[in-house]
Amino acid sequence: MASTGRVDLDGRPIKAMTICMIGAGGFIGSHLCEKLMAETPHKVLAVDVYSDKIKHLLEPQSGGASLPWGDRIQFHRLNIKNDSRLEGLIKMSDLIINLAAICTPADYNTRPLDTIYSNFIDALPVVKYCSENGKRLIHFSTCEVYGKTIGSFLPKDSPLRQDPIYYVLKEDTSPCIFGSIEKQRWSYACAKQLIERLIYAEGAENGLEFTIVRPFNWIGPRMDFIPGIDGPSEGVPRVLACFSNNLLRHEPLKLVDGGQSQRTFIYIKDAIEAVLLMIENPTRANGQIFNVGNPDNEVTVRQLAEMMTQVYSKVSGEAPLEVPTIDVSSKEFYGEGYDDSDKRIPDMTIINRQLGWNPKTSLWDLLESTLTYQHRTYAEAVKQAISKAVAS
Ligand code: NAD
Ligand code: UDP
């Protein structure tokens, strides 16, 4: 590995790496590839079944000059479920980052088998090849492994609900609390928890060098899809894309079960800074499980809907609807077996101590840049789709 001119947090030179990034064509992967190409000399073997979100990194625009990062990124279209090329790519790399997953809540209760296979079974060979070949692994888990907070089981009027000890989520002490088996929502969290335990055990018994990332609602441009435009008309993406779709179509935003659940949202670009620190500081990141979120950006889903309505009106110049939201039951919206995480505040002690990282962007600012992107990218296509539907 050649030196890069970059130094790590302890002042040591960082050597150029080859990174096998599985799930590189998704939302997080596309931002991580962008960052690695723009700011580092590392090479990326980008593995995914789709490449649309990283097309701009792979091919020069028509008539444009060649890309500044040359051939440092190579796309390998393969499904890790059943492709023997995976082990070879892992062997060629210094670091493996696994992002591949089914990770949209609408799938957890309606496609529980696919969800469990994707998040546990399909990740097994990746862990095995890393362990057998002595390769470092950064695995993407989820904040959802915490499940519900202890506070949610206290009486509604209990003053203890205000005590952070009952709701702040800490990597090394918080329990993982899921609903009953028929609440299939938890199939995802449970599969992610088991793969975390397996990776941890590979570290303990076989010396696997690993880092586990638990993202807390990372949002920004290129997240999921807009139904009927760049995804299935009946598809249900995560909340940012659902609400963007409603705003683009001038429809009320749908609040599931009153929109009382709370979330902390972090700007994708802040979160990617944390991942780059993990990549380039193995001695500080190995063996760690990291919460990556922004505890200062907490809102109820209802408040998120109200803020997105205001921000969208500002960036699009369109007046908000008179009735901007409507209530919908979770059964109607997601079907049988849905359940929800009540509140998700990440404890930041471990990531602060190990990597000195903190998020920077306020919820208003991140929504402003994201909704500017959504409006610029989709408004015209949505308008055309609506007029075509009216005409037919
Ligand atoms: P995403 O769906 O945009 O990206 C996942 C990518 O993996 C997709 O491009 C998909 O095509 C690819 N993939 C899935 N199965 C594959 C297979 N068998 N072979 C090859 N490629 C495959 O999701 P994302 O938001 O970028 O999330 C990435 C990871 O982070 C996931 O593991 C997810 O569980 C975790 N995560 C993300 C968030 C968030 O806030 N975005 C929150 C919690 C956890
Ligand atoms: N939600 C909503 N309306 C929508 C989409 C989602 O009220 O159109 C709610 C959902 O029930 C959950 C929250 O928004 O309480 C966040 O959902 P998301 O799909 O982003 O994933 P989660 O944070 O639950 O993993």
DSSP states of 17-55: -EEEEETTTSHHHHHHHHHHHHH---EEEEEES--GGGH
Q: Please state, in angstroms and as integers, the Cα–Cα distance from residue 189 to each residue in 75, 176, 196, 341, following that order.
A: 29, 9, 10, 11
Residue 291 has what pLDDT?
Answer: 98
Instruction: Give the pair of three-digit tokens for residue 166.
Output: 């009952």
Residue 2 has what pLDDT?
Answer: 64
pLDDT in tens, 351-380: 999 999 999 999 999 999 999 999 999 999
CA dihedral (45, 50, 55, 59) in degrees, to 10, reads 60
For the CA of 216, the nearest ligand: 1
**Distance, CA of 269 to CA of 325 (rounded, Å):** 29
Supply the pTM of this predicted model.
Answer: 0.98
Find out whether the beta carbon of 217 lies less than 6 Å from any atom of ligand 2: yes
The residues, ordered by sequence, that sit 6+ positions from 12 with a Cβ below 8 Å of its Cβ are none
As beta bridge partners, residue 231 has: 227
CA–centroid distance, residue 302 to ligand 2 (Å): 10
**Between β-strands 253-256 and 325-328, what pairing exists: parallel, antiparallel or unpaired?**
parallel
Q: Which residue is it, tokens 């409603």?
A: 246
Residue pair 364/304 in contact by the 8 Å Cβ criterion? no
Residue pair 392/386 in contact by the 8 Å Cβ criterion? no
Residue 231 has what pLDDT?
Answer: 95
* Minimum-distance ligand 2 atom for the alpha carbon of 242: 8
Residue 390 has what pLDDT?
Answer: 87
Closest to 16 measured CA to CA, from 65, 69, 75 = 69
CA–centroid distance, residue 238 to ligand 2 (Å): 6
Find out whether the beta carbon of 340 lies less than 6 Å from any atom of ligand 2: yes
The domains of the chain are located at 101-384
Q: How confident is the model at residue 1 (pLDDT cuts 50, 70, 90)?
A: low
Q: Up-side HSE of residue 99: CA atoms within 13 Å toward CB?
A: 23
As beta bridge partners, residue 300 has: 262
**Between β-strands 95-98 and 73-77, what pairing exists: parallel, antiparallel or unpaired?**
unpaired
3 state SS of 287: coil
**Distance, CA of 52 to CA of 46 (rounded, Å):** 12
pLDDT in tens, 109-167: 999 999 999 999 999 999 999 999 999 999 999 999 999 999 999 999 999 999 999 99
Closest to 98 measured CA to CA, from 12, 21, 30, 45 = 21
Find out whether the beta carbon of 105 lies less than 6 Å from any atom of ligand 2: yes
CA–centroid distance, residue 300 to ligand 1 (Å): 24
For the CA of 147, the nearest ligand: 2
Closest to 325 measured CA to CA, from 304, 297, 299 = 304
Closest to 54 measured CA to CA, from 64, 66, 45 = 45
pLDDT in tens, 117-132: 999 999 999 999 999 9
pLDDT in tens, 65-92: 789 998 999 999 999 999 999 999 999 9
CA–centroid distance, residue 67 to ligand 2 (Å): 37
User: Does 188 participate in catalysis according to the annotation?
Assistant: yes
Q: Which residue is it, tokens 């790496």?
A: 17
Q: Which residue is it, tokens 């599931």?
A: 256
**Distance, CA of 196 to CA of 295 (rounded, Å):** 23
CA–centroid distance, residue 239 to ligand 2 (Å): 5
Find out whether the beta carbon of 223 lies less than 6 Å from any atom of ligand 2: no
Give me the phi and psi of 19, to 5 degrees please. -115, 125
Q: Please state, in angstroms and as integers, the Cα–Cα distance from residue 9 to each residue in 32, 124, 239, 272, following that order.
A: 19, 32, 35, 16
CA dihedral (376, 382, 384, 389) in degrees, to 10, reads 180
Residue from 108, 167, 188, 378 carrying the catalytic annotation: 188
Tell me the one-letter amino acid at 19: I
Superfamily of 101-384 according to CATH: NAD(P)-binding Rossmann-like Domain (3.40.50.720)
The residues, ordered by sequence, that sit 6+ positions from 275 with a Cβ below 8 Å of its Cβ are 32, 138, 213, 292
Does the interface ipTM go beyond 0.90? yes
Helix (H) or strand (E) holding 253: strand 253-256
Indicate left, alpha or beta for 321 from its phi (over 0: left) and psi (-120 to 50: alpha).
beta
- Work out the mean pLDDT of the chain and round it to a whole number: 97
Pocket of ligand 2, candidates 256, 294, 329, 339: which has the most ligand atoms within 8 Å of its Cβ, to mutate? 256
User: From atom 4 of ligand 1, which residue's Cα is the shortest distance away?
Assistant: 26
Per-residue pLDDT at 61 exceeds 80 = no
DSSP states of 268-282: HHHHHHHHHHHHH-H
Residue pair 137/127 in contact by the 8 Å Cβ criterion? yes
Closest to 355 measured CA to CA, from 291, 266, 269 = 291
CA–centroid distance, residue 227 to ligand 2 (Å): 16
Find out whether the beta carbon of 242 lies less than 6 Å from any atom of ligand 2: yes
Per-residue pLDDT at 52 exceeds 70 = yes
Kindly list the protein residues whose Cβ atom lies closer than 6 A to any atom of ligand 1.
Answer: 23, 25-29, 48-50, 79-81, 99-101, 103, 118, 122, 140, 142-143, 215, 217-218
Pocket of ligand 1, candidates 76, 78, 84, 103: which has the most ligand atoms within 8 Å of its Cβ, to mutate? 103
